[in-house]
């Protein structure tokens, strides 16, 4: 998981919007955008362990394996999570809870370049 909270906040600040909504969209089908605890890295590790137990790599039920044993599982994981978030904006910043952070959750075994679109409305 990659914490992108500061990157999204930077876009919110550049927008000049004082109050409104921030829509964050991830342009991929093998990763997710999530709101997760940001205080303890064990939370992210536990989430990863849970997801790998729920949707294991190299499961023989999958036929779509063109890009390797994590190909179809990564698509299933992204469907079980989300490809966008809508977050409140207050005082020209994300109005997140104290322990909340915005994360790109990579579901592939190796990292990939991921694209986000951040839209701020107010």
Q: Report pLDDT for 110.
A: 86
Tell me the whole-structure pTM to 2 decimals: 0.94
Structure-token match 């790998």, residue found: 52
Structure-token match 């550049």, residue found: 14
Q: Specify the CATH number for 2-121; select among 3.40.190.10, 3.30.2010.10, 3.30.365.10, 2.60.120.460.
A: 2.60.120.460
Under 8 Å between Cβ of 69 and 77: no
Enumerate long-range contacts of 60-64, CB under 8 Å, 24 or more apart. none
Q: Is 68 helix (H, G, I), strand (E, B) or coil?
A: coil
Output the CA–CA distances (angstroms, integers) from residue 75 to 49, 57, 101, 117, 118, in the order listed. Answer: 17, 11, 23, 20, 22
Q: Whose CA is closest to 73, among 26, 107, 34?
A: 107
Residue 40 pLDDT exceeds 90: yes
Phi/psi at 118 (nearest 5 deg)? -115, 120
Query: Chain-wide mean pLDDT for the chain?
Result: 96
Residue 61 confidence class, pLDDT cut points 50, 70, 90 = very high
Residue 111 pLDDT exceeds 90: no
């Amino acid at each position: 998981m990659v914490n992108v909270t500061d990157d999204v906040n930077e876009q919110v600040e550049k927008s000049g919007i004082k109050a409104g909504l921030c829509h964050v969209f991830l342009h991929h089908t093998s990763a997710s955008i999530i709101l997760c605890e940001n205080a303890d890295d064990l939370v992210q590790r536990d989430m990863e362990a849970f997801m790998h137990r729920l949707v294991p790599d190299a499961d023989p039920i999958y036929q779509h394996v063109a890009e390797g044993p994590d190909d179809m599982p990564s698509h299933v994981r992204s469907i079980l999570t989300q490809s966008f978030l809508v977050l409140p904006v207050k005082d020209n910043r994300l109005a997140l809870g104290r322990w909340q952070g915005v994360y790109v959750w990579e579901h592939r075994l190796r990292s990939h370049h991921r694209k986000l679109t951040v839209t701020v409305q107010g």
